[in-house]
């Protein structure tokens, strides 16, 4: 029964991590819009989410089978935090398709990146609100209200 209650939260928590990572990647693209030779990067959210759901370790460089005290955790079942330097791994990152050729070799389309940034922000916020709503529902069920 506990697994049934946490499955939806598990899905949305993985989605939240992926959305945050995608936001970081898009922000990096926007920051490098004027950098000569910079190739824009992005992730395929659907594939990354499928990979995250297929594996228990989120497929993001997190390994729940690590020993507890060596990683700074208090329990061997805790997941140690990893630095966010491309935690998706280079295999999940893809190059964006260049829509407008540029003389300096930069592939970032600033208008598309801004639209992706806003879209991802809205989806991140929706996922966060869903998690908050689910948590409140579970809490109210526990309290008997």
Does residue 93 contact residue 45 with C-beta atoms inside 8 Å? Answer: no
Residues 6+ apart with CB under 8 A from 58: 14, 17, 52
Mean pLDDT on 108-123? 95
Question: Is 90 exceeded by the pLDDT of residue 16?
Answer: yes
- The dihedral region occupied by 90, where left means phi > 0, alpha psi between -120 and 50, and beta the remainder, is alpha
Domain containing residue 18: 2-143
Residues 6+ apart with CB under 8 A from 130: 12
Model confidence over 31-58: pLDDT tens digits? 999 999 899 999 999 899 988 888 754 4
Percent of all residues in the chain with a pLDDT value above 90, rounded to a whole number: 38
Of the given ranges (16-20, 50-54, 87-91, 97-101), which has the lowest mean pLDDT?
87-91
Does residue 109 contact residue 100 with C-beta atoms inside 8 Å? Answer: yes
CB atoms within 10 A of CB 19: 21
The total domain count for the chain is: 1
Rounded to whole angstroms, how far apart are CA atoms 16 and 20? Answer: 6
DSSP secondary structure letter of residue 70:
G
Of the given ranges (9-13, 57-61, 63-67, 84-88), which has the lowest mean pLDDT?
63-67
């Amino acid at each position: 029964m506990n697994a049934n209650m946490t499955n939806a939260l598990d899905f949305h928590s993985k989605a939240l991590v992926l959305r945050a990572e995608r936001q970081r990647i898009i922000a990096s693209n926007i920051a490098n819009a004027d950098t000569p030779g910079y190739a824009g990067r992005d992730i395929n959210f659907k594939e990354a989410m499928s990979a995250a759901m297929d594996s228990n370790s989120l497929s993001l460089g997190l390994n729940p089978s690590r020993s507890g005290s060596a990683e700074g955790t208090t329990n061997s079942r805790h997941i140690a935090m990893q630095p966010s330097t491309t935690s998706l791994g280079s295999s999940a990152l893809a190059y964006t398709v260049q829509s407008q050729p540029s003389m300096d070799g930069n592939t970032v389309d600033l208008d598309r990146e801004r639209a992706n940034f806003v879209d991802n922000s809205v989806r991140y916020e929706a996922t966060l609100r869903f998690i908050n709503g689910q948590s409140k529902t579970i809490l109210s069920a526990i309290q008997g209200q």
